[in-house]
Amino acid sequence: MAKKRNSIQVKQISNTLLACILDALQELKAIDIVVLDLKEVKEASSDFFVICNGSSSTHINGLSDRVQKNVWEALGERPFHMEGRNSKSWMLIDYFNIVIHIFDKEKRSYYALEQLWNDAVITKH
């Protein structure tokens, strides 16, 4: 039977997960990293969005791979869901309470998630 976690444990895991994700993105020089804190946004399905862009499809793939590697090594967690592996212009990595969006510059401008979720608290890294 799965062990239940209290809210303090969940918050600590979320903070550790967020730190792993940010470290991975910064290690590989992701461009314009922002975190949208969505905890107070009723319509949001997760607590955080991490948004950044890469300089090429190879860079985007590398960022995605590094995030998954760092999270696996630190927490033993695999993504719940992934999208965009074949598109090379946008990738989504879903860890339930944190969703990472890695775009190329054009797709990021087109989808404008920071403006769409402008009621979130936004932190630049």
- The answer as to whether 77 is a domain residue is yes
- The answer as to whether 16 is a domain residue is yes
- The answer as to whether 2 is a domain residue is no
Residue 2 above 60 pLDDT? no
Q: pLDDT per residue over 14-61, tens digit each?
A: 889 999 999 999 999 999 999 999 999 999 999 999 999 999 999 999
Residue with tokens 């039977």: 1
State how many domains the chain has.
Answer: 1
Angle in degrees, CA 74, 33, 23, rounded to 5? 20
pTM, two decimals, is 0.90
pLDDT band, very low/low/confident/very high, at 11 (cuts 50, 70, 90) = low
CATH of the domain at 78: 3.30.460.10
- The answer as to whether 88 is a domain residue is yes
Structural domain harbouring 35: 7-124
Distance (Å) of CA 109 to CA 16, 17, 52, 88, 106: 29, 26, 11, 16, 5
- Specify the DSSP class assigned to residue 28: T
Q: pLDDT per residue over 86-117, tens digit each?
A: 887 999 999 999 999 999 999 999 999 999 99
